[in-house]
């Protein structure tokens, strides 16, 4: 290998080492604790800091009596180093797969609709095709999903419209379907037994005769329940439960006369009794939902397969639903915070 190329590769590896050391320094908040964790001397860590600051031409940490804290630029460098580490983990597993039994990990975050069971069959099939893949399926953190994707804490997120950061050239998005919010109740609810108005619809005023559940995992549902419904019926609903857990909400609906605003897809797997929409003469809110991931993940075989499996589930041809012309993001007509639903 030519000497110049060898020098470049050596410099690149040195910089990666310095970046990983910086991350530990900032996570631990002091050079001493970072030194103990990495089993590296404090002078070596100080040299790594100095070389990074010299290379970037900016200060990365502020030193104070209790240790160190990242500067704004240091936070930006930390974000990039987290992403680099995730890339390295995936690449290392791919390159060593023939000589190592270590399993790869795919980090998936899901909004409440996706955690209701919609993805169960998809994920089971994905794991069967990649037996050495561990799937971590976690709850999206409201308002932090894009950062979690950028920094490698998530590989892919399933949720609503990805408005926050959606135009980033590093993010690709696949629209899978649309979801509509309805007023929900058990299938044998008194409202569904002959108390209908014109066109077989339930009169909106009838909603005030029953207790309500506020599904509070996402702020939008509380807003819809307490304000939007009130605008249509002329008074605030009688809220008896405020519940963050979707399974608990569904169980209460099955066992009571409560009503609740929920996305339609969230009740598909519920039976005995089923949870169904109340037919109301009201306009329903609809949002596009799908998956978003960093564009460089497109070449990772498990990600390619996951996209195809999801498209198959929702009846989307593989050549559709994925647009990279604008950073992998399709234009959307709905404005919503990521993670809904």
Could you report the per-residue pLDDT of 92-116, keeping only the tens digit for each? 887 877 777 888 999 999 987 787 7
Q: What pLDDT, on the 0 to 100 scale, is given for residue 300?
A: 92
Residues 208 and 259 in one domain: yes
Q: Is residue 189 part of a domain?
A: yes
The least confident of 78-82, 109-113, 128-132, 194-198 is 194-198
73 pLDDT higher than 70: yes
Domain that holds residue 262: 179-284
Q: Based on the fold, state whether residues 230 and 270 are members of the same structural domain.
A: yes
Is residue 321 assigned to a domain? no
User: In the predicted model, what is the mean pLDDT of the chain?
Assistant: 82
Task: Looking at the structure, tell me whether residues 142 and 264 fall in a common domain.
Answer: no
- pTM of structure: 0.72
Rounded-to-integer distance, Cα 62 and Cα 260, Å: 50
210 belongs to a structural domain: yes
**How far is it between the farthest Cα atoms of the chain?**
85
pLDDT for 44: 92
Q: What is the pLDDT of residue 142?
A: 73
The count of structural domains within the chain is 3
Q: How far apart are CA 42 and CA 65, in angstroms?
A: 16
Average pLDDT over every residue of 208-228? 85
Residue 198 confidence (pLDDT): 60
Say if 98 falls within a structural domain: yes
Q: What is the pLDDT of residue 185?
A: 95
User: Which two structure tokens, joined as six digits, stand for 88?
Assistant: 């390295």
Q: Are strands 67-70 and 238-243 parallel, antiparallel or unpaired?
A: unpaired
Percent of the chain at pLDDT > 90 equals 32
Question: Which pLDDT band holds residue 169 (cuts at 50, 70, 90)?
Answer: low
Kindly compute the dihedral angle of the four CA atoms of residues 77, 79, 84, 90, in this order, to the nearest 10 degrees. 170
Question: How many whole angstroms separate alpha carbon 13 and alpha carbon 67?
Answer: 27
Long-range own/partner contacts, residues 207-211 (CB < 8 A, 24 or more apart): 207/183, 207/233, 207/237, 207/259, 207/278, 207/280, 208/233, 208/235, 208/237, 208/238, 210/185, 210/238, 210/257, 210/258, 210/259, 211/238, 211/239, 211/240, 211/241, 211/256, 211/257, 211/258, 211/259
Residue 57, domain CATH: 1.10.10.10
> Distance between CA atoms of 113 and 111, rounded to whole angstroms?
6
- Give the separation between CA 277 and CA 187, rounded to whole angstroms: 8
Would residue 341 count as lying in a domain?
Answer: no
In this predicted structure, what is the pLDDT of residue 320? 47
The whole-number average pLDDT for the span 24-38 is 90
**Residues 306, 165: one domain?**
yes
Boundary (domain end) residue, out of 75, 94, 118: 75
- Please tell me whether residues 90 and 64 are part of one structural domain: no
- pLDDT of residue 336 exceeding 50: no
Given this model, what pLDDT does residue 195 score? Answer: 58
Task: Residue 275: give its domain's CATH number.
Answer: 3.40.190.10
In a domain, 327, yes or no: no
pLDDT at 311 over 80: yes
Looking at residue 151, its pLDDT comes to 86
Please indicate, yes or no, whether residues 23 and 54 belong to a single structural domain of this protein. Answer: yes
Task: For residues 272 and 291, state if they share a domain.
Answer: no
Residues 192 and 280 grouped into a single domain: yes
Torsion 188-189-195-201 (CA) sign:
negative
Highest mean pLDDT (candidates 59-63, 73-77, 302-306, 317-321): 302-306
Cα(34)–Cα(42) distance, integer angstroms? 8
Under the banding of pLDDT at 50, 70 and 90, the label for residue 12 is low
Q: Are residues 94 and 227 in the same domain?
A: no
Instruction: Kindly state whether residues 218 and 169 are assigned to the same domain.
Output: no
- Please say if the pLDDT value at position 46 is more than 70: yes
Find, among 286, 290, 301, 287, the residue nearest to 323 by Cα: 290
Q: What pLDDT is attached to residue 81? A: 82
Residue 167 pLDDT level (bands cut at 50, 70, 90): low
> Which of residues 32 and 334 earns the better pLDDT score?
32
pLDDT at 330: 44
**Of the residues 264, 284, 304, which one is the last residue of a structural domain?**
284
Domain assignment present for 326: no
Q: Are residues 103 and 165 in the same domain?
A: yes
Listed residues 284, 304, 323: the one ending a domain: 284
Residue 319, in any domain of the structure: no
- Decide if pLDDT at 251 tops 70: yes
- Helix orientation angle between 42-56 and 72-96, rounded to the nearest 10 degrees: 110
- Does residue 48 surpass a pLDDT of 80? yes
* 105 and 252, same domain (yes or no): no
């Amino acid at each position: 290998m030519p000497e110049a190329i060898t020098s470049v590769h050596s410099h690149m590896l040195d910089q990666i080492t310095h970046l990983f050391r910086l991350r530990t320094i900032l996570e631990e908040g002091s050079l001493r604790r970072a030194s103990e964790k990495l089993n590296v001397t404090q002078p070596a860590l100080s040299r790594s800091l100095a070389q990074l600051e010299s290379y970037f031409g900016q200060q990365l940490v502020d030193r104070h009596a209790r240790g160190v804290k990242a500067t704004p630029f240091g936070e930006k460098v930390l974000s990039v180093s987290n992403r680099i580490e995730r890339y390295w983990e995936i690449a290392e597993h791919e390159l060593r797969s023939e000589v190592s039994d270590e399993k790869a990990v795919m980090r998936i975050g899901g909004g409440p609709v996706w955690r209701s069971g919609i993805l169960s069959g998809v994920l089971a099939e994905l794991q069967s095709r990649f037996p050495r893949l561990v799937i971590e399926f976690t709850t999206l953190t409201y308002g932090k999903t894009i950062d979690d994707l950028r920094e490698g804490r998530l590989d892919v997120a399933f949720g609503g419209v990805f408005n926050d950061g959606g135009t980033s050239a590093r993010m690709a998005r696949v629209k899978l379907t649309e979801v509509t919010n309805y007023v929900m109740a058990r299938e044998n609810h008194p409202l569904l037994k002959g108390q209908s108005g014109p066109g077989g619809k339930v009169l909106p005023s009838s909603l005030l005769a029953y207790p309500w559940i506020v599904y509070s995992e996402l702020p939008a549902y509380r807003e819809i329940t307490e304000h939007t419904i009130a605008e249509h019926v002329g008074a605030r609903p009688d809220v008896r439960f405020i519940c963050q857990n979707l399974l608990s909400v569904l169980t209460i609906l099955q066992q009571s006369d409560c009503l609740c605003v929920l996305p339609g897809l969230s009740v598909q797997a519920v039976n005995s009794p089923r949870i169904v929409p109340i037919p109301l003469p009201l306009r329903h809110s609809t949002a596009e939902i799908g998956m978003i991931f960093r564009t460089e993940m497109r070449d990772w075989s498990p990600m390619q397969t996951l996209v195809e499996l999801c498209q198959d589930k929702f009846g989307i041809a593989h050549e559709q639903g994925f647009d990279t012309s604008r950073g992998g993001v399709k234009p959307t007509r709905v404005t919503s915070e990521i993670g809904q639903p």
